[in-house]
Amino acid sequence: MIATCEPGLKGPLALAPGVERVLIGGGMAAAGPALLDPIRLRIARERAASPIVQAASGDATVELLSPTEAPGARGAAAIAHHRIGLPEREGVGER
């Protein structure tokens, strides 16, 4: 499902089934609640309006990382560890 964002946010807001957490990092995260609050509000409205969206999104959360973190590098490391079968280590791929 794709829904438009609240005024002030550009572009679509996409909801995909099976997503547990959406992390926003880098320069976008510096916007803080001005970015995060409208996204959370729209997701809550979509969940309330549609049992299908509620079932598909479950308890998924949207969170901001510190603007100084490198989520791409952390995510790549977690994916690499998973794909080559290494055991999970604390701090690798975690927030």
Q: What is the pLDDT of residues 34-85, one digit of tens each?
A: 989 988 888 888 889 888 888 888 888 888 888 887 777 777 777 787 788 7
Whole-model pTM: value is: 0.61
CA–centroid distance for 35 within its chain: 12
Q: What is the pLDDT of residues 27-47, one digit of tens each?
A: 888 899 998 998 888 888 888
Other CB atoms within 10 Å distance of the CB of residue 40: 14
In 52-95, beta strands by DSSP E:
61-64
Q: What is the pLDDT of residues 1-37, one digit of tens each?
A: 334 454 555 555 666 777 788 888 888 888 999 989 9
